[in-house]
Amino acid sequence: MKKRKRKISLLVIGAFAVMQLFPIDKTNPPSDPANDFITIENPPRQVAEIMKNACYDCHSHHTKYPWYTNIQPLAWWIRGHYRGARQHMNFSEWSGYDAGKKAHKMEEAAEEVEATRMPLMPYWLMHPEAKLSEEGRQLLVDYFTQKSKGQ
């Protein structure tokens, strides 16, 4: 029985070691500041700061890859989150959205932030600066709601 447990342990360790040979690509796509949400919409300074801390890492081409993205399979999982987040809403490509899509994205953002679904808890646990205070959350909700109505 001990031999079997040892073989399984060695197999798991070996598999984990082999996974480390397949790191994720940490290259951010090129980003033109002229297409960026903050450049185009010029939100109040406090809103822009909150967005940079709580939203931009996942929802733009300004991702900062932390140390733990060097560990597979965790890095693969995180890369999937980044890709999904950018597909859903990408602040770096804001100029490519038409007015209706912009309004819809702002409405969705207000709903997600208000319901405390964004930013994701695993994200703000590792990035405390992304955890929204009630005041910061309300500031974003009010701003996104206002933008969704074209104001």
Give me the half-sphere count of Cα atoms (radius 13 Å) on the Cβ side of residue 105: 19
Q: Is residue 86 part of a domain?
A: yes
Closest listed residue to residue 93, CA positions, set 31, 142, 49, 135: 31
Q: Is residue 124 part of a domain?
A: yes
Please give the pLDDT value at position 2.
85
- State which residues form the domain around 86: 25-148
Sequence letter at residue 90: N
Q: Is the distance from CB of 106 to CB of 148 less than 8 angstroms?
A: yes
Q: Please state the rounded mean pLDDT for residues 97-119.
A: 96
Q: Please state the rounded mean pLDDT for residues 108-116.
A: 97
Please give the pLDDT value at position 151.
66
Eight-state DSSP code of residue 25: P
Q: Please state the rounded mean pLDDT for residues 53-62.
A: 96
Please give the pLDDT value at position 27.
93
Is the pLDDT at 1 greater than 80? The verdict is: no
Q: Is residue 19 part of a domain?
A: no
What are the phi and psi torsion angles at 118 (to 5°)?
-130, 140
Q: Per residue in 110-144, is it b (16+ CB within 10 Å) or e — as a string?
A: bebbbeeebbeeebbeeeeebebeeebbebbbebb
Q: Is residue 5 part of a domain?
A: no
Q: Is residue 17 part of a domain?
A: no
Query: What whole-number distance in Å separates Cα of residue 73 and Cα of residue 24?
Result: 10
Its pTM stands at 0.88
**Chain-centre distance for alpha carbon 126:** 12
For residues 36 and 150, the model is more confident at 36
Sequence letter at residue 144: F
Q: Is residue 102 part of a domain?
A: yes
Looking at the structure of the chain, the number of domains it has is 1
